[in-house]
Chains A and B, each alone.
Chain A
Amino acid sequence: MKRKGIFFGTIAIIYILVLVWGVLLTIKDVSAQQNTVCCEKTKQGAFCQNVPAEECSPGARQVPTACDSTSFCRLGTCFDSNEGICLDNTPQLVCNDNDGVWNENSPPQCELGCCILGDQAAFVTLVRCKKLSADLGLKTNYDKAITSELECVDAVKSQERGACIFDFEFERTCKFTTKSECEGIVSSENDTEETSEKGTFFKDKLCSAEELGTNCGPTTETLCVSGKDEVYFVDTCGNPANIYDASKINDKEYWTNVRGKAETCGPNSGNILSASCGNCNYLLGSYCRDENTAGKNPTYGDFICADLNCQGTSNGQSYKHGESWCVYDDFGAFGKGENSVGSRFFKHICINGEEVLEACEDFRAEECIEGDINGFSQAACRVNRWQDCTAQTKKDDCENPERRDCFWKEGITLTNSSIIGACLPENPPGLKFWESEEAKNICAQGNANCIVKFEKGLFGDEKCEENCQCLTEAWEKERNDVCKSLGDCGSTVNWIGSKGREKTVVEFGEKEEVE
């Protein structure tokens, strides 16, 4: 008896120890999951992350608080004094370690102004303007009074352009440029400084103009000019002349005066792959490229208006360069709660004549939306707002497009709900149903308990009296549709159309006799 007691006592102690050990492990696990620290550097090599303490690299600083609250991992603006650019959301230590200048708020060095770079403009910081100007061999021309990018672009458009004549190595030569660059007048940050290199400026004249008497003359060669769409003739000094037009190759007037885009060949079209006209238009899907890239030879020179548009894409339509559109070509429909397992939204983009795919977030965490601006298609991947669909009890709230992506299904009831009608996701989320406990909970909302009443006849036969629809295949299908609308639940098919192995589970309970 005593032995028996000792035996049971030992078993009880072992059981308690195992239980306590299990509880301790659970507590440890939970605390590890919930109590994160701000870690200077993780074992993986990432800087300033809120992670469980054990993921922190040995020797790295760690503080039991969020990184935003620490001194070393606070986010701020990192100023790159070499490039003159400012990068937000950079932790202090990451910025300092890389020789950047860190500020909690945007420093004055990050203020933007207009930088004139020859006939182009950039809306950048002063340091960046100096860097860009130096790289291009230009004097810094920066105007901080201009406070918007549009104004900046306008400022450069209004510059006069023409032939700049000067003497070089005892020869009268020419450069096609702006008046300010030619006359060597460059406004610096505070005042206007004048340089000694002055040329004589002839507005709207080309360097190849005979009347200027320079050593520059016409050629049969062409070139692409940085920042311009079109193909340009080039003179013997390497200056761009007017837009390439094969019919004007021997036209003296065409080699004398500057002609605008509208006064040149094919002004209203993109002149795509035209052998004789280089008046390309980026907005219409053409751009100056060399003949090898473009795939066609021009009559003169090596450059042509390449075709950037996409013909006959995967959905059979043609799109312009830069257009994007949504594609959902997986099995099944979308937007009605019927998405197949593993299906995903894709955004397609037409880039330089190629159809490029960009997948939206997997598990349908994002859906693709598209719109049209003056015939120009634009698409984007946007977060799928399905999370609070089943919590809605009114049709209006359910189908409020400002708040969520749900639809109202009449005549059905979700588990734990007394309302007839259910709010379900338009594009149900994908679930890790093969390993996730959460998937079971989400799918369980689609469970239904239907009590069917039968009436027993005199001869033992039964006749259905109440909720008889629950015995039909139609009811089974309807309930399965509800399950499918909640996520990857119920009996469904995958994205390539293969059916799942299991049918909707319909369990019949024991019959109870009621007097």
Chain B
Amino acid sequence: MENRKVRKRGQVTFFVIIALIIVAVVLVIFLFPRLNVFVEELNPSSFLRTCIENDVKSSVNILSKQGGYFLPNNYYTYKGKRIQYLCYTDELYKPCIVQQPLLVSHVEEEIENQVKSKADQCVEELVKQYERRGFDVERRPSEINVDIIQGKIVVDFISPMTIRKESTQTFEKFAVGLDTELYELLMTAVSIIQYESTFGDSETTLYLQYYPNLRIDKIRRNDGNTIYKLSNVATKDEFTFASRSLVWPEGYGFDELGVSKNK
């Protein structure tokens, strides 16, 4: 009898302890919302990558179809798309004049301008994520830098940041790399521009010897206009640009003398 009483008391004590633990856990969760014990560790580069990836890809997609310009100003319209002239002449019988040197830097700048606001949003969101996890975040104004290199586009979030909790971590920048063969295509475009501006035309089959994955579609339009569509057969990346070079008139060209512009 005594034994049963003692056993019952023990059970009650056990349930009370369990109840107290549950109440304590609930209180901890509700009273200390910044202490989020269920959230996994945050990887800033991975977070930023997920945040910016689609915007960078969509920017690259637009730029690649328009000769590296978001808003082409000197362009040829082909199938409803405005394609920037990277080499152009208004005259007859003459090779084109280079219109866009430092093409890689230009495209980097265009991507930067396009994704800058999104990049700021991503950094803001990253800070919020840290704060939700109970970190103190101290940061300075952020900048973005886009680098197009062999095989990838690297987006550098130059965002000096110090995060503190039990320990202190300091970041100067976060680098996010996206795979693309755009760099190789841009360098091929530069080489074609060099050809066109020197000889008036380019010989695209030469490139096949050196670049097995490269495909060049040279689409001749009227009045000396040529569309070049460069693509990587393995990755399907592409870059399209226009050129107007070595324009031949119909007949002897007497009709065209002096009135060479005829797009």
Contact = CB atoms under 8 A, between A and B. Distances in A.
Given A88-B197, A89-B198, A429-B251, A361 B220 contact: yes
A46 B74 contact: yes
Interface string B215-235: 111111010100000000110
A87 B252 contact: no
Interface string B158-181: 000000000000000000000000
Interface in A4-60: 32-34, 36, 42, 44-52, 55
A88 B217 contact: no
A287 B213 CA distance: 9
Interface string A89-107: 1110011001110000000
B99 interface: yes
Interface residues of B, number: 56
A80 B101 contact: yes
A118 to B, nearest CB: 13
B95 interface: yes
Interface stretch (A232-240, A349-357, A464-472): A349-357
A82 B104 CA distance: 9
Interface centre among A87, A100, A366 (most CB of B within 10 A): A87
B186 to A, nearest CB: 9
Interface stretch (B52-60, B118-126, B137-145, B254-262): B254-262
A87 B205 contact: no
A434 to B, nearest CB: 11
A293 B232 CA distance: 12
B80 interface: no
Interface size class of A (residues with CB under 8 A): 35 or more
A287 B218 CA distance: 23
Nearest to A42: B90
A136 interface: yes
A90 B96 CA distance: 10
A430 B190 CA distance: 33
B102 A356 contact: no
A487 interface: yes
Interface string A482-497: 0000010000000000
B3 interface: no
A352 B219 CA distance: 18
B102 to A, nearest CB: 5
B250 A293 contact: no
Given A88-B198, A358-B218, A45 B74 contact: yes
B75 to A, nearest CB: 8
Contact of B193 (A80, A87, A380): A87
B90 A46 contact: yes
B88 A49 contact: yes
A85 interface: yes
Interface string A380-399: 11010001000000000000
Among B89, B251, B257, B258, residue most surrounded by chain A Cβ atoms (within 10 Å): B251
Nearest to B200: A383
Contacts of B73: 45
Interface in A447-492: 487
Interface in A343-370: 349, 351-352, 354, 356, 358-363, 365-366
A48 B216 CA distance: 28
Given A33-B258, A487-B251, A87 B97 contact: no
B36 to A, nearest CB: 33
Given A55-B261, A356-B215, A88 B194 contact: yes
Interface string B97-134: 11111101110000000000000000000000000000
Given A95-B101, A359-B220, A436 B251 contact: yes
> Which of A83, A100, A366, A432 counts the most B-chain CB atoms under 10 A from its CB?
A83
Nearest to A353: B233
Contacts of B85: 46
Contacts of A293: 233-234
Given A88-B194, A132-B150, A80 B220 contact: no
A110 to B, nearest CB: 12
B258 A352 contact: no
B208 A136 contact: no
B47 interface: no
A388 to B, nearest CB: 10
A146 interface: no
A100 B102 contact: yes
Nearest to A382: B201
B155 to A, nearest CB: 16
A431 interface: yes
A51 B97 contact: no
Nearest to A436: B255
A116 interface: no
Contact of A363 (B106, B187, B215, B250): B250
Contacts of B190: 85, 87
A438 interface: yes
B98 A352 contact: no
A34 B258 contact: yes
Contacts of A290: 234
Contacts of A132: 150
B35 interface: no
Contacts of B224: 361
Instruction: Sort A-B residue pairs by CB-CB distance and give the 10 closest, nearest first.
Output: A33-B258, A45-B74, A45-B73, A365-B248, A89-B197, A90-B98, A78-B101, A49-B90, A359-B220, A322-B208
Given A46-B90, A358-B217, A432-B250, 7 more contacts: A50-B91, A83-B187, A135-B150, A352-B215, A365-B248, A438-B252, A442-B252
13 contacts: A46-B74, A49-B90, A50-B90, A82-B104, A87-B101, A89-B98, A89-B198, A229-B212, A293-B234, A361-B224, A387-B252, A436-B250, A442-B251
